[in-house]
Amino acid sequence: MSPMDGDNSTTDASQLGITGEYMAGGYVLQSQEDDGEESLNDHEDGNGSKDNLREQDIYLPIANVARIMKNAVPQTGKIAKDAKECVQECVSEFISFITSEASERCHQEKRKTINGEDILFAMSTLGFDMYVEPLKLYLQKFREAMKGEKGITPVSVTEGIGEEITEDSFTNQLPAGLITADGQPQNVMVYTTSYQQIPGVQQIQFS
Amino acid sequence: MSGSKEEEKVPGRSTSLPMSRVKLIMKSSPDVSHINQDALFLTTKATELFVQHLAQYSFRKGCGGESNALGYSDLAKAAEESEPFHFLTDILPKKILARDYLRSLEERSEDSD
């Protein structure tokens, strides 16, 4: 049985009051992060009894998984229901696979927090290095989007940026209104008007 | 629709799979304490790529024109034949017909007599 971690979610079946025989498919986990209508185990599992919930028993919502699959095959192609459920399981397996590899590296380097580099390194090590370049692009967009939302990150000497900060370097970057008259940066939500997917990164052919 | 609404507002941040759920799965791994935001985002995006990859590969290799439907056996085959997918072989055993299994049981008990 895996040790309990600090947050409120529990994967210990005895704490949930569920016995072995009761746990056929379709059970719901009590969790701090409540997904609303969707159960965490939106999944038909005929495997019968399990003694406790393993990490692989938490799945991503089948609707989302099925949608991605559908977009990946030709339009005329069909996907069997058991294939969707199967990929759902594979996905949880994949996440756990990457995570434990990244976690191991973290521990080796005496760090407590898994960061982006750990994940990318794990991908490379485990045979998914074809994902790394597209992921780096996605991450770049992600960081840009995050920066835009929080307003200007204050530039301090300790960040080691090294560039000389002049009047010019600010005027081009500052969207109007972000710095108020008394010089305090405001947190402003910036929404762009374009909702297109990131061009050039979305469709990746895996043969 | 995916569970986390905040992520869909700003493009570049949006994901097709809910990050909160991905986080839950990650945290259920032993010895995982903290996951930073980049790591969570990258894992979620990588998972999307993985689904595309697995579906595309299995469909191409499996559907030789017969049913044009992606099924369990195509996935099991992909796990066996493609190296990155080898880690899935434990959860994707190739199914055998019940009668073949029973037959192999009989043969085994005959041998041990």
- Taking an 8 Å cut-off on Cβ atoms, the answer to whether B18 and A61 are in contact is yes
Q: Is the pLDDT of residue B3 over 60?
A: no
- Taking an 8 Å cut-off on Cβ atoms, the answer to whether A113 and B35 are in contact is yes
Q: What is the pLDDT of residue A29?
A: 44
Q: Which residues contact B63 (CB under 8 A, 6 or more apart)?
A: A77, B69, B70, B74
- Pairing of β A113-114 and β A78-79: unpaired
Closest residue to A115, CB basis, from B39, B45, B72: B39
What Å distances lie between residue B33 and A47, B24, B95, CA to CA?
A: 30, 12, 37
Residue of B nearest to A130 (CA): B49
Torsion of CA A111, A116, A117, A122, to 10 degrees: 90
> Nearest C-alpha of chain B: how many angstroms from A169?
25
Q: Is the pLDDT of residue B107 over 70?
A: yes
More confident residue, A191 or B81: B81
- Taking an 8 Å cut-off on Cβ atoms, the answer to whether B68 and A76 are in contact is yes
Determine the 3-state secondary structure of A156 from DSSP: coil
Closest residue to B70, CB basis, from A55, A79, A192: A79
- Taking an 8 Å cut-off on Cβ atoms, the answer to whether B71 and A98 are in contact is no
Q: What is the pLDDT of residue A18?
A: 43
- Taking an 8 Å cut-off on Cβ atoms, the answer to whether B71 and A82 are in contact is yes
- Taking an 8 Å cut-off on Cβ atoms, the answer to whether A116 and B38 are in contact is yes
Residues of chain A with pLDDT under 50: 1-10, 13-37, 47-51, 154-181, 191-197, 200
Give the mean pLDDT of B51-73. Answer: 85
> Nearest C-alpha of chain B: how many angstroms from A163?
25
Interface contact B21, partner A, CB < 8 A: yes
Q: What is the pLDDT of residue A63?
A: 96
Closest residue to A120, CB basis, from B26, B34, B42: B42
User: Domain coordinates of chain B in residue numbers?
Assistant: 14-112
Please state which of the four CATH numbers 3.20.20.70, 1.10.20.10, 3.10.105.10, 1.10.760.10 is assigned to the domain occupying B14-112: 1.10.20.10
Residue B110's pLDDT band, with cuts at 50, 70 and 90, is confident
| Nearest in space to B47 (alpha carbons), one of A197, A92, A103, A50 | A92
**Chain B residues touching A65 at Cβ < 8 A:** 17, 51
- Taking an 8 Å cut-off on Cβ atoms, the answer to whether A90 and B92 are in contact is yes
Is A13 in contact with A53 (CB distance < 8 Å)?
yes
Looking up tokens 């996440």, which residue turns up?
A: A95
Q: What is the pLDDT of residue A180?
A: 45
How far does Cα A105 stand from its chain's mean position? 19
- Taking an 8 Å cut-off on Cβ atoms, the answer to whether A69 and B70 are in contact is yes
Looking up tokens 């108020």, which residue turns up?
A: A180
Interface contact A64, partner B, CB < 8 A: yes
Q: Is the pLDDT of residue B49 over 60?
A: yes
pTM across the whole model: 0.64
**Chain B residues touching A33 at Cβ < 8 A:** 20-21, 23-24
Is A90 in contact with B88 (CB distance < 8 Å)?
yes
**Chain B residues touching A89 at Cβ < 8 A:** 91
Q: What is the pLDDT of residue B83?
A: 95
More confident residue, A191 or B52: B52
Q: What is the pLDDT of residue A89?
A: 95
Interface contact A97, partner B, CB < 8 A: yes
